[in-house]
Amino acid sequence: AEDGAVVLGVARGDQACGEFGHGRMLEASELLEELIAYLAPKPLLGQRVLVTAGPTFEAIDPVRGITNLSSGKMGFAIARAAREAGADVTLIAGPVHLPTPRGVQRIDVDSASNMLSAATQRAQSATIFIATAAVADWRPAQAADHKIKKDGSGEARQLSFVENPDILAEIAHSPRAQSGELYCVGFAAESENLEANAQAKRARKGVPLLVANIGPATFGRDDNALLLVDDEGVLELPHASKRVLAQQLIAEIARRVSGLEA
């Protein structure tokens, strides 16, 4: 490694001799992921990219909570594409069942509040922030310490909710983002009027680039279509796999960030 060679392994796990530990060959899929990353163009070299992904989980009591149908696939694909493009990538993930892209540092969180603390801390050293997480807009006003029991009365139970912090808006209004040291990208999951809603959301969140998609059409799927809204106008990335869209989006972000630096 000191001579400049890239060392990919070894992997840890069950060994043929019956022991457990370091010494396995990496899986073929992991080797392929590393080779693709090694050979990819590096327009984000030197950048530190922070990505939020997946849903959040807001506890009602120790056994229940509210969440949403976000799979995290788009955010994980973006983290992978950013790493391939040469960035140092941190991925803050809500509860999802996805493997961590190779070479990406992952921080698992559950609630919006936990995601906010992890994101604000990491945003202090990041140069690009991409908020793909489907953060719950509300959380129960109080999470009960013990499981809430039904009382058999058949009466409706009331739960009250308070608004969650807006992670993207908070970070986008921070001094580093305002001074241009941190480039912020928001996502918008809409169910109609994509372009108009995206323009309004971009202004409201205070981000230079907003990426819109039709939420119900993409949640959980492996494909999507994106609409990029920024100062230059609107750019459509037509229907494709999330993997391809993530690579295209990262190229678009790299172009805008290098334009800022030039």
Which of the residues are catalytic? 17
Residue 189 C-beta: closest distance to ligand CTP, Å: 4
Cβ nearer to ligand CTP, comparing 57 with 187: 187
Euclidean distance between CA atoms 90 and 148, whole angstroms: 37
Choices 90-98, 132-140, 175-183, 229-237; region in contact with ligand CTP by CB under 6 A = 132-140
Inter-helix orientation angle 73-84/28-39, to 10°: 60
Residue 138 C-beta: closest distance to ligand CTP, Å: 9
Of 70, 44, 42, 37, nearest to 55 (Cα)?
A: 70
Residue 192 C-beta: closest distance to ligand CTP, Å: 11
Choices 26-34, 80-88, 142-150, 186-194; region in contact with ligand CTP by CB under 6 A = 186-194
Residue from the set 135, 194, 209, 245 that interacts with ligand CTP by CB under 6 A? 135
Residue from the set 44, 50, 85, 167 that interacts with ligand CTP by CB under 6 A? 167
Residues 25-44 that bind ligand CTP (CB under 6 A): none
Of 205, 204, 194, nearest to 237 (Cα)?
A: 194
Contact 55, 70 (CB under 8 A): yes
Where are the extended beta strands (E) located within 99-180?
105-108, 128-131, 138-140, 161-163
Residue 177 C-beta: closest distance to ligand CTP, Å: 13
Alpha helices in 104-193 (DSSP H): 112-123, 167-172, 175-178
Residue from the set 49, 133, 227, 228 that interacts with ligand CTP by CB under 6 A? 133
Residues 67-126 that bind ligand CTP (CB under 6 A): 112
Choices 120-128, 141-149, 166-174, 251-259; region in contact with ligand CTP by CB under 6 A = 166-174
Report if residue 166 touches ligand CTP, rule: CB under 6 A: yes
Q: Which residues does 135 contact at the CB level (< 8 Å), separation at least 6?
A: 52, 56, 112, 115, 164, 166, 167
Residue 75 C-beta: closest distance to ligand CTP, Å: 9
| CA distances (Å), origin 208, targets 76, 99, 180, 197 | 22, 30, 10, 15
Q: Cβ of 225: how many Cβ atoms within 10 Å?
A: 16
Choices 38-46, 147-155, 161-169, 241-249; region in contact with ligand CTP by CB under 6 A = 161-169
Helix, coil or strand: residue 143:
coil
Helix, coil or strand: residue 112:
helix
Cβ nearer to ligand CTP, comparing 103 with 165: 165
Instruction: Tell me phi and psi for residue 128, to 5 degrees.
Output: -135, 130
Contacting residues toward ligand CTP, per CB under 6 A:
52, 112, 131-133, 135, 137, 164, 166-168, 186-189, 205
